[in-house]
Amino acid sequence: MKNYLSKYFSKPILFIGLCISPILVSASDPLPSWRDGAAKQSIVDFVKDTTRKGSPDFVPVAERVAVFDNDGTLWSEQPMYFQAFFIFDRIKELASEHPEWKTKEPFASVLRGDAKAALAGGEHALMEMAMATHAGMSAEEFEGIVRDWTRTAKHPETGRLFTEMVYQPMLEVLDYLRANGYKTYIVSGGGIEFMRPWTEAVYGIPPEQVVGSSIKTKFEMRDGVPVLMRLPELNFIDDKEGKPVGINQHIGRRPVAAFGNSDGDLQMLQWTAAGKGRRFALYVHHTDAEREWAYDRKSHIGQLGQGLDEANANGWTVVDMKKDWKVIYPAVDK
């Protein structure tokens, strides 16, 4: 299943996932799921140097902003972005209300179970499906739909809930940063209102600290009740060059640290690293075909080529998932 979509994701998808046991930060080892090495040490050194008073790299608490991509950085993204699975499930659920979908592509292929054919139209096809399944309802209604889906939807290969396929080592990084006065944000190409219903339970990141792609909304009075209605119109794409723009619009501070995994995160890491004073940029490199997936320059999604070159040239931290992480996913009680 890992390769069946390889032709159809040459570009990032625009609209792109309960609760796992809390992580405890040990004073002796704040990152217990990381193997000792350069990647782990770079994180620890950065946090110590920027939070120790008297250090030449000290960063005031108000300026301690760290941003994280989501897909492929905080949770898995293969064989396709998890929001695409959500879109497919929504099409199946809504099919009875749209008899025309039985013969209209790409919906017909989804209903036949042919994901490859459904995505043959690339980005345009996925956008069409997203608009058809994510709009025409209130923001609150959509939030409820996402919450219900994340409670039961499972990955077709691992059998885990999608929200259980988060990276234990990255959960520890999030917790370690927050324990040292950093405010953590998600900055993702995924749909902002797709992520917000579950990020606080899964990552400890509240909805107001999530930046993502969005569709337009409109204020309306319905039966005397004010609602925000979701429209089938694109509002903002939070990917590539859009990420620094989204950070500026939503956060208003240049981050001190940025974490990503693909070329879609490159501009976010560049903008972060270009700030004055000590900065930290990290790429998660997917190298573990046994415990997760191995991919980079030629991947159908999450492609990492230019970003890897820039990381090596600029001395950014590159995490070798196979070498640097003791475990991939958190232990989950069944």
**Domains of the chain and any CATH numbers:** 38-324 (3.40.50.1000)
Q: Output the 3-class SS for 182-209.
A: CEEEEEEEEEHHHHCCCHHHHHCCCHHH
Q: What is the pLDDT of residue 245?
A: 98
Mode of pairing for the β-strands spanning 225-236 and 210-222: antiparallel
Torsion of CA 28, 200, 272, 30, to 10 degrees: 10
Q: What is the pLDDT of residue 332?
A: 81
Residues near 150 by beta carbon (within 8 Å), at least 6 away in sequence: 17, 18, 161, 162, 163, 197, 198
Q: What is the pLDDT of residue 120?
A: 83
Residue type, position 244, single letter:
P
Q: What is the pLDDT of residue 334?
A: 58
Q: What is the pLDDT of residue 25?
A: 46
Q: What is the pLDDT of residue 28?
A: 87
Residues near 50 by beta carbon (within 8 Å), at least 6 away in sequence: 57, 58, 59, 64, 256, 278
Q: What is the pLDDT of residue 125?
A: 84
- DSSP letters spanning 241-280: THHHHHHHHHT-S--SEEEESSGGGHHHHHHHHTSSS--E
Tell me the pTM: 0.90
Block means of pLDDT (10 residues each) for the chain, 334 residues, are 38 38 60 98 98 97 98 96 95 96 95 89 84 95 97 96 98 98 97 97 98 96 96 93 98 98 98 98 98 96 96 98 98 75
